[in-house]
Amino acid sequence: HICTCKAGYSGDGKKSCKLIDICSQDNGGCSFFADCASNKTSFTTRCTCKNGYIGDGTKCIGNVLESLQNDPNLREFHSRLMNSSIRQILSPENHVSVVAPNNNAFTSSRRKRRSVNSLSDLDLKHYIVSCVSLSENDVKAGDKSFVTVAGSWLNITSPMVINNNVSILSVLTAANSAILVVDKLLDVPDSDDDSLEHVSTFVRGILIIDY
C-alpha cells in the first residue's frame, strides 16, 4: 500500500511526516512587511503589519517616503525630497500631508521652459503640511485651507483642486501621511516674497506659526 502524509504535513509517509510551517513559504501569503503566525490546528495564518506600517497584513503600506519611492509615477519628486535637507520632516514619527507632482508635471514644466532644476528646499516646503493627514473626503469636499511648512497657504478651493488651478488626480494613504498626487507644479512665492503672512518652523514634528 502507499503511505502519504496528511494535509499540512510533509515527508515520505512511512517513517516521517512533519508539520509544514506555512509561514516559511512566501511568508505564508503575508506582506513582506508583516509578521506571519500560523495556526497548527487549522493550518491557517494570521498576518499583522509590522510597526510603522498599516494595512490588513497581506498588504502593508509604509511611510510617505517609501510610498513615493514605490510609485513609479512619483519617482522624480521622491528623488528631489531625498536630495534635500527637509526629508527629516517626513520621518515616520511625523504626521504630514504631501502634495506630490507626478513625473508628467515635471516634464510639462520643462516643455514650458520653466526651471524645475532649481527647486530649493524652501520651494519643497510649500508642498508639505505638517500635523495633518488629509483624506479623500477632505479634498472632495473642498473649501479648506492649511498652512504649509514654508508658511504659505494651501487652499483646497473646490473639490479635488488646489489654489484654483492644480488638479488633484488621486489621494494615496501612507502610514504617516496623505499624498495628494497632482498634475502640475505649484506656483510658490519667491523666497524673499514679503507677501507670506506667516513664518513657520518645524520643531520635533510640531508646526509653530508666528504671527
Write the DSSP string, 177-196.
EEEEEESS---PPPTT-TT-
The one-digit pLDDT tens for each residue of the chain (211 residues) are: 789 998 778 888 888 898 888 898 899 999 999 999 988 777 889 999 999 999 999 999 999 999 999 999 999 999 999 999 998 898 888 889 999 999 999 988 877 766 556 678 999 999 999 888 788 888 888 888 999 999 999 999 888 999 999 999 999 999 988 999 999 999 887 655 444 444 444 333 334 333 3
Q: How far is CA 210 from CA 131, 197, 201, 202, in A?
A: 16, 9, 9, 12
Nearest C-alpha neighbor of 48 from the set 40, 62, 59, 64: 59
Q: Which amino acid is at 138?
A: D
In this prediction, residue 192 carries a pLDDT of 52
Assigned C-alpha cell, 56: 490588513
Assigned C-alpha cell, 95: 504626521
Beta bridge partners of 60: 55
Assigned C-alpha cell, 82: 531625498
* Burial call 10-37: b when 16+ CB within 10 Å, e when fewer: eeeeeeebeebebbeeebbebbebbbbe
In this prediction, residue 117 carries a pLDDT of 62
Euclidean distance between CA atoms 65 and 174, whole angstroms: 9
In this prediction, residue 186 carries a pLDDT of 92
Number of H helices, E strands in the chain: 5, 15
In this prediction, residue 114 carries a pLDDT of 60
Euclidean distance between CA atoms 102 and 99, whole angstroms: 10
Q: What fold characterizes domain 62-182?
A: FAS1 domain (2.30.180)
In this prediction, residue 113 carries a pLDDT of 61
- CATH 2.30.180.10 domain range(s) in the chain: 62-182
Q: Where are the beta strands (DSSP E) in 90-152?
A: 96-101, 128-130, 144-147
